[in-house]
Structure 1
Amino acid sequence: MLRVGLVLPAGFNVLTYSTVATFETVNLISGEELYNISLLSELGGPVANSFGCITNTEPLDAGPFDTLLVGSGVCCTQPSPALAAFLQEASRKTRRIASMCLSAFVLAEAGILDGRRATTHWAWAQELQVRFPKVKVEMDRIFIADGPVWSSAGMTAVVDMALGLVERDLGADLARATAKMMVVHHRRAGGQSQHSAMLELDAKSDRVQDALAFARKNLRGPLTVERLAEAARLSPRQFTRVFRLETGQSPARAIENLRLEAARYMLEQGRLPIEEIARETGFGDRERMRRSFLRSYGQTPQAIRNVSHPLAQL
């Protein structure tokens, strides 16, 4: 049994509970208590969340713990001297310590992130880097594991990190089963972008949404304006005009972004050869995909894969 301590700051974001739900689901699936969860606060006792609801907690010295998670408030806060000292000691005694969303600022204040890679919610990542220049902030990651120190982006990314912890502890099969039980659409790799190409397109009409759905299902093949217009039940001229009006992008640029997102996910999630990923996502060949990655991300596909799978050999 692995003991997990979850530190709850006053006014913590209610999504912090989702990590507890992840470990609880593991126990449910396995039929045994693989994880024992303790809810903690600096003084113990009742702690109000961002909704104003009360959670009863134990004091910080309720350990020892295998893993210590630090919950996130809805704004950046500075840890008290007592909490900072506790976290510093915990970072030496526990197997791993992890921040959720804005609690990266708490670990950074305690010096735990110095010299390490870390992430946080995209809206505060730049501030984290400015305030803590010793931290290697990666602004567009879902979660990062740098040795025994983990950190996640904001909101639902804490579920992805919790599933990553489960996979590291108990294997990929149980992590996948947990994600399935939780009806997580797909378990995102830590290196995946915090942004979604489909979300940013934000098409308003059903016809343009139908064309985008068709494109995502058929990235491997040619996606001409004529094919997309047919899926949208519009003429090519009408489709191009409506598409640009609704999304602010040309169809060609939108399709390239969808291909980039799909290729990046495949690079980070698995170990298919880069040539095969280029074919599966419609780039056709490795060099064309490489040029597109450099233009959009400033990195090659191989560089992005190396960050997610340092030991992967192609």
Structure 2
Amino acid sequence: MTTSIVDTDLAPVTTDGTNLYLYYQDAQGHIVETYSSDGKSWQKSSDPVATNARSSPASPITAYYVERDANFGGKSTIHVFYFDTAKKLADRVKVLSSSSWEDGKVPDNIASAPVEASRLTSGSYNTDTSGWNPDGSQWVYFHQFTGSIEQLTEIRRTPKDPVYAEAILPEKPGESLADSTLAVSTSRGEINLFFQDHERNVASYENRDSKWNDKKVIIPAKDVLIETPMAAARSHESSGTQHLLLVDQSKPSQIQHYAEGKLVGAVDQFYNGTRLGAVPLKSTVVLFYKPVNPAGSIRTKVYDGGDWKDGGEVVPAN
């Protein structure tokens, strides 16, 4: 038996710039955690994150770190969002100092809002003491229907409960596909949200200082798999390069790396039906993916500004 569902999301988190966590759905359908302090040696946590996740198809999963969580007395936390067996949006929270998981509060009207086919993505901002988000603002994105038209929605904690929802560019609904993969990256005063539009182009919305800008096509449909997985990460160097990983239409398909919208090159062959995750780590970007061989395993590739290097096995195939 393989150790994970084939199409599980891969949701990585880094906490202090050294520790890495990956959240995924195992073969029993549980959302589980594996952890590394050096990016090389990985240890699966004994207790599952959630045992009530949707498993057929695999639940979307997204996760983020909050350095000073206002809901938990300023303690550091990790949040994991997913769809439960009732097809509702759920939040599980771990206080890092205690390593225990508990339910986060998601109002029922928000929990039931995402369409069944929606993907999830999320982000947080932790490192600013100048007033932009000093207490760890949190964002989660999904698709919901407004009438008969799909709409990208953002839910926020700024900085604590209650969670509230806002439509993104409500005057322009229906620009993104309801089942499109979503990917997001954040930096001070800026959020970049990536999706596929109805022509299958990869496009983005950009939020600068709390104002969303109109859709911008980043990569044309001819260069992108029809239903491509995506992962985004903004590196931590002073320039804050925007990295986007997705899959092309070549045969066999390749995972392609774009930096600031420009093609850098292929990372590895794509294992059909799987998903991608990426996270910045110090001066590098770490990609989580399922290789063609050994099928069923989860590995990393690490980008340091040169070539992508093999980062080793995170989860064995069986």
TM-score range, shorter chain: under 0.3
Question: Which has the larger helix fraction?
Answer: 1
Question: Which has the larger strand fraction?
Answer: 2
Question: Which of these two proteins has the greater Rg computed from alpha carbons?
Answer: 1
TM-score (norm 2): 0.25
TM-score (norm 1): 0.25
